[in-house]
Amino acid sequence: MAINTYATLQTAVANWLDRSDLTDRIPEFIDLAEARLNRVLRLQLMVNIDTTTLGSAATLVAGTRDYALPSGYLQMIDFALTTDPITPLSYITPENMNRMWAGSELGIPEAYTIFSNNSSGTPVPSVKLGPSPAGAYTYSMMFYKKISALSDDNTTEQMLTNNPDIYLYGALLEAEPFLMNDGRVQLWATAFKQAVSDLQEQDNKDRHSGSAMRVMNTGGYP
């Protein structure tokens, strides 16, 4: 059976577990496996370039330092103002940001940091600029974005189509707390680790070899 949809993945996990009492938990195992993949993988297909949605704005706002990060943000790769010439922004820690630009100084931003903005009462992953922009600068932000989560509405995903073994072994591993002293767990753990390592290694080779990417999604994942 080909494992290329959310339904076929659930069926495969159920078959491999062979535990009817865990069937209802399989979507949870898949969710947890996806969370693990987003932590350990940094692939070209996860790269997203954003020029319009930082803080829901196509340009920076004069006098505004803090902007909500795009949905699904994982890790920054490159952040720059699209001035002429381009103005790359350097990452600094939140502590250094507060020391260097604690006031309301305006100018062309030189640096950024990532922090959790609690000003609304709800933590929002955000970027802070230093100094505060003096004008409505346009920008380009390249970052790693989460792989689209599988669901009954999002039934397939390029990552699953190309790497069904990673999803299968990952979901099986998340069932470990319910599989006391089950010798299969170590086999699944070894297979998952090897599959992840092979995928990341091949992606790294493609990235530095000059060869075309096997999967390219310039629009990013929703």
Q: Is 60 exceeded by the pLDDT of residue 211?
A: no
Read off the pLDDT band of 37 (50, 70, 90): very high
User: What mean pLDDT is reported for the chain?
Assistant: 92
Between 62 and 214, name the one with better pLDDT.
62
CA atoms within 13 A on the CB side of 149: 14
Read off the pLDDT band of 208 (50, 70, 90): confident
pTM, 2 dp = 0.88
Report which DSSP code applies to 62. Answer: T
- The three-class DSSP label of residue 180 is coil
Relative orientation angle of helices 26-40 and 6-17, to the nearest 10 degrees: 110
Could you state, in order of their start, the residue ranges of all structural domains in the chain?
A: 6-41+148-209, 47-145
Q: Is 50 exceeded by the pLDDT of residue 111?
A: yes
What's the pLDDT at 55? 78
Read off the pLDDT band of 100 (50, 70, 90): very high
